[in-house]
Amino acid sequence: MHNLGVRAHDFGQLPIDTLAATIAAKGLTSIQLALAKALADVPSPTGGFSPGLARHVRKSFDRHGVSIAVLGCYFNPLDPDKTRLDEMTRRFKEHLRFAREFGCSVVATETGSRNADWSYHPDNASDSALTEVIDKVGELVDEAKRFGVFVCIEGVASHVVSTPARMKRVLDAISSSNLQVLFDAVNLLNAANHERQVEIIDEAWALYGDRIQIIHAKDYVVQNGSLKPAVIGEGRMDFAAQFKHLHARKSHLDVLLEDTQPATIETSIRNIRTLFAQANPEKPGR
């Protein structure tokens, strides 16, 4: 399986060389890096980025054969705290300006909620909320254009971009190749729709498969009416529904494990590699 990686901070906040060595020891080759969450010994305050900082981080991971597939700079585009929203907008733009120095071309976020804590708000499904997200994402994309990099947005069932159809509306409204998608199929599911997961995955790939640049991989079970994390391959996620599209269209995408636990990550890695191989429509020796 090509380009299998992980969210770096799922291993905790560690010194950079320890973190890189730990990830590489699992046979993983790429990461989603949220600097402040993952690196214990590399301060990264807003306004503190520089080419030297970015090169130091990149080289530290390079030494262990780990590439930075995406910089995570998640913030709520509808945050009612305008001071915090302005600060996080500046931080995201700073990530965009220095992304290539990190050896990366993608900076990602989700699309947020009317609630400051990202929880579900009934107005998240409104056209007005979607328009506000489009305006903010468009502002970020304008910055990305200046530096030849990409903004990736991730849909979540309880957020403003909650379905493949709403994601397509954002992509159509901004209409820039500097806007791409980080696709997490489980994030689009809930207790009401998870049994339609194959339909939802196929719809996403049909509407914007050419714009999907990063995959989050995780599994789930249903407990007490809500989705809970599970070890990959031991839950209800239909990985074949996802991987058939990767094999057919984008077999070298970075697939990043999410919600991993140290005690079970090796099982998840083994299972996802097996599931990826099983989904290959090509017959052995063909």
Give the mean model confidence (pLDDT) for residues 44-52. 97
| Residue 283 falls inside a structural domain | no
54 falls within a domain:
yes
Residue 125 counted as domain residue: yes
pLDDT digit string (tens) for 265-279?
Answer: 999 999 999 999 999
- Residue 262 confidence (pLDDT): 85
pLDDT tens digits, one per residue of 51-110: 999 999 999 999 999 999 999 999 999 999 999 999 999 999 999 999 999 999 999 999
In a domain, 27, yes or no: yes
Q: Could you give the number of structural domains in the chain?
A: 1
Q: Is residue 285 part of a domain?
A: no
CATH of the domain at 274: 3.20.20.150
- Written in H, E and C, the secondary structure of the chain is CCCEEEEHHHHCCECHHHHHHHHHHCCCCEEEECHHHHECCCCCCCCCCCHHHHHHHHHHHHCCCCEEEEEECCCCCCCCCHHHHHHHHHHHHHHHHHHHHHCCCEEEEECCCCCCCCCCCHHHHCHHHHHHHHHHHHHHHHHHHHHCCEEEEECCCCCCCCCHHHHHHHHHHHCCCCEEEEEECHHHCCCCCHHHHHHHHHHHHHHHHHHEEEEEECEEEEECCEEEEECCCCCCCCHHHHHHHHHHHCCCCEEEECCCCCCCHHHHHHHHHHHHHHCCCCCCCC
152-201 pLDDT per residue, tens: 999 999 999 999 999 999 999 999 999 999 999 999 999 999 999 999 99
Containing domain of residue 184, as a range? 4-278
Position 285 scores a pLDDT of 41
Check: pTM over 0.85? Answer yes or no. yes
* 118 domain residue, yes or no: yes
- Specify if 57 maps to a domain: yes
Q: For residue 284, tell me if it sits in a domain.
A: no
